[in-house]
Structure 1
């Protein structure tokens, strides 16, 4: 008999995007929430389960406490920034329902399983690496001693590390996550500053062949072998969204870099075009993560098939820094890619990171000027975040780059500049984020484009005004956190 199971993203900071889908957990410059896909996937496997995403739904412990009363198994997603709060929630659950088995999933649990279990007796087991079928085995009543891919506390209190579980190779064996969104979540609660609202996101594959030293999921859970769902399987989930969630205006494919496999993304684009995407009047668009090296021919096929936006990790405008982080990208190639997207009418949300190895005041200036030159529609500027399990974390530890503390966020959820170099202290890197935003957005050309967009679309006007208030509030809180 399947255990009565709750999948939970625990309550946390107000406006904190710590969900089991956010690559980096923090409060955003504009209020944003990613879908808890990494929780929804095993929830889709476990019959009769329930998913609660408390941060996105503004739920406190008091709001959800009753939900744990009859549960036999509770699975919490955790991350390095949210870990203390997640442990506190686990202890509250045990205090209310001592018989519940509590398991932790996520990158933090995968790479620091012993540490997680040592922290609190309330945590009975953690899942290492890819955990969908691991959770299913536990929920099916299999003794913990027989479940591959977990570390657990046995009856004597000793911590036992079972053998690893093989990763999923046939991705079509995983059920759709969108029915779980429809069943358990209010999709209007999920925002992306650059995505049409409401949106839905899911994966068409896992893993990423790139070796970026800072990137979290491939180095901790997903791996570097890109395993994909079949095109018909992907298209059928898109059909489900169109049929069952008619309010959705955009579908975001959340693969680390969907465009790494050009023939496959072209095939997906053609299949989506056959559904109506890209045709005049069709109400839904699609978007995805992309590396800034997609050939123009592929971009043309994507655009024809309804692709509206690409989320592109430029990271830096300095070639040496891109080499340092093993980005596998040339600045001149990225520049041409961006020009092609502008020519074709594909919108770009560009992401940049300050404080990566090799950063100087001069390279920061180079990156700001580069961003202004290539001119993505919107940008996100983050601080280098050395999460445990990444090569960047190993570098920072070995070279003594950590600035006083290993904390990634303030108590209020604002990102901290963790890395400090003899020639470039963390405080300077922190301040440069605000300068980057102001110099990019407060230009006549960019301000005119934003105002024009608002004039053409009343819904966009309301949205941009709200985001403007949130943006300035974000900057104010950053100053208070400094």
Structure 2
């Protein structure tokens, strides 16, 4: 698609002159391919990628709806649509504007869908958003199936762009986008971050198939479980985080607005458990106390979980959270080696982590910890330190991922100085397979330590006992069976199959 060199005469997007009046907008989370669903990471995709709705596009839809626009949402991934089925539905709906969201590892899915749509409906206007394009706009816009890129927070940028296209005005006036013009990629000024999040309408969850989002198998006995976001941005400087979408400036919804949304999830959608999926729920004692006070004042009875920081949480605050309905806290640990923690700029100590995990366990908050292996300065010894540290903590669950230098994260600029990049294929950037091998390690050794981490943590009587104490009803048993099946399929069967395949090749 070629850009117009004279914006005063036409839009830089071919066919966008048909986007007039009140355009219809379809926002879509692209489908997962058959190869991805049935490949080695199929169990991970099935159990971990589809446990909560795409709130980013739901927030955009909520704002567009509030302005009287015709908008639909499609989560083709959770619906189980094939790329062909997704295309058929888009053709039948005939939207004027198609918005696609994408992370780095599923960028190829967005490209595949974008190309198919453009071939079938050449006049449609396509807009790409999400974390990947926010840090890699020029590279993403090299794909001619995308007419515009929405960079950073998408709500007001999308609204502005849709209104501009409807009025057939020059999109160069829209902040926070990229598009082709005069043979090159033109990027407008970055749109300021939304200062007052309370101005945003709630995400349009009613446009999504909420019954199809299934909580992780070890994610608690209180169902239905729903996700919500109470803040955006993070001021901390961890080198593995990409802040391209929400930035480093911390902004929070007000406590009344947060509890308004909690009430809506309970009364309208029947939620029994709410997962706060913010990058940083606990930025301060004061903020958390304000939310707790609002929950108590309204008498809301709902279970909830959140991520905490070990250097902010206190036993007193955790006890207040427990009384207000919190049943689990998640702790971003990342490493059990203090030198690694310092290098990745985590700004916590092992003793702070140990103390908060102990307090959470004592209070019955079933602490879960997040670890990563394969940091730039990682060695076999430091990974073993993490394994030993995790086993020494009174944790109920862990999530361990393989460090993945994402475009836009600070470590992306330096990681090649500390080891070897073994894949430039964005599909591999899943956090579940190595794309970077630190010096002194091999791919085989890193994968072996990754498996060892999970198996040596979970295959212990104490972990079985901790989970048995969480059983509430017979229906919990299939959920735990699913968790065991995932553990077996990902870390035992995969290894056996690999060994068998290698022996057959010999």
Note whether the superposition's TM-score is higher than 0.5.
yes
What is aligned with 1:5?
25
Unaligned runs of 5+ in 2: 1-20, 500-506
Cα distance change of structure 1 residues 465 and 14 upon mapping to structure 2, 3 Å threshold: farther
Residue 223 (1) aligns with residue 240 (2):
no
Q: 2:172 aligns with which of 132, 145, 157?
A: 145
Q: Kindly report which structure 2 residues correspond to 1:278-293, keeping only aligned pairs within 5 A, or say none.
A: 282=301, 284-293=302-311
Cα distance change of structure 1 residues 323 and 308 upon mapping to structure 2, 3 Å threshold: same
Matched-pair contact (CA < 8 Å) for 1:29–1:471: no
Cα deviation, 1:149-205, whole Å, max 9, x if unaligned, reads: 101023x5532111111110011111101xx22232233423234254321112111
TM-score, structure 1 normalization: 0.90
Cα deviation, 1:341-387, whole Å, max 9, x if unaligned, reads: 01111122211100112211111111111111113111111000100
Q: 1:396 aligns with which of 398, 415, 419?
A: 415
Q: Kindly report which structure 2 residues correspond to 1:103-182, keeping only aligned pairs within 5 A, or say none.
A: 103-118=127-142, 120-142=143-165, 143-154=170-181, 157-177=183-203, 180-182=204-206
What is aligned with 2:219?
194
What is aligned with 1:22?
none
Matched-pair contact (CA < 8 Å) for 1:410–1:481: no
CA distance in 2, matches of 1:167, 1:309: 31
Cα distance change of structure 1 residues 436 and 112 upon mapping to structure 2, 3 Å threshold: same
CA distance in 2, matches of 1:473, 1:49: 40
What is aligned with 1:53?
75
Matched-pair contact (CA < 8 Å) for 1:339–1:374: yes
Shift of 1:225: 1.2
Q: Kindly report which structure 2 residues correspond to 1:259-408, keeping only aligned pairs within 5 A, or say none.
A: 259-277=282-300, 282=301, 284-293=302-311, 294-397=313-416, 399=417, 401-407=419-425
CA distance in 1, matches of 2:362, 2:403: 31
Q: Match of 1:352, SS?
A: strand
What is aligned with 1:38?
56
CA distance in 1, matches of 2:466, 2:318: 23
Shift of 1:238: 1.3
**Cα RMSD (Å):** 2.3
Cα distance change of structure 1 residues 188 and 233 upon mapping to structure 2, 3 Å threshold: same
Q: 1:442 aligns with which of 459, 477, 481?
A: 459
CA distance in 2, matches of 1:481, 1:128: 41
Q: Match of 2:73, SS?
A: strand
CA distance in 2, matches of 1:480, 1:292: 39
Residue 27 (1) aligns with residue 44 (2):
yes
Q: Match of 1:252, SS?
A: strand
Cα deviation, 1:423-464, whole Å, max 9, x if unaligned, reads: 12232112211111110011121123334544x531221100
What is aligned with 1:433?
450
Matched-pair contact (CA < 8 Å) for 1:14–1:55: no
CA distance in 2, matches of 1:221, 1:376: 31
What is aligned with 2:258?
234
Q: Kindly report which structure 2 residues correspond to 1:442-461, keeping only aligned pairs within 5 A, or say none.
A: 442-454=459-471, 456-461=472-477
Q: Match of 2:296, SS?
A: helix
Q: Match of 2:141, SS?
A: helix
Cα distance change of structure 1 residues 13 and 309 upon mapping to structure 2, 3 Å threshold: farther
Q: Match of 1:212, SS?
A: coil
Shift of 1:271: 1.4
CA distance in 2, matches of 1:14, 1:379: 29
Cα distance change of structure 1 residues 29 and 51 upon mapping to structure 2, 3 Å threshold: closer
Q: Match of 1:27, SS?
A: helix
Q: Which moved more, 1:472-481 or 1:348-357?
A: 472-481
Matched-pair contact (CA < 8 Å) for 2:97–2:125: yes
CA distance in 1, matches of 2:179, 2:459: 52
CA distance in 2, matches of 1:448, 1:291: 26
Matched-pair contact (CA < 8 Å) for 1:401–1:419: yes
Matched-pair contact (CA < 8 Å) for 1:117–1:152: yes
Shift of 1:408: 5.2
TM-score, structure 2 normalization: 0.86
CA distance in 2, matches of 1:262, 1:428: 41
CA distance in 2, matches of 1:322, 1:152: 40
Shift of 1:404: 2.7
Shift of 1:410: 4.5
What is aligned with 2:438?
421
Unaligned runs of 5+ in 1: 18-24
Q: Match of 1:197, SS?
A: coil
What is aligned with 1:467?
483
CA distance in 2, matches of 1:466, 1:105: 33
CA distance in 2, matches of 1:459, 1:161: 53
Shift of 1:71: 0.6
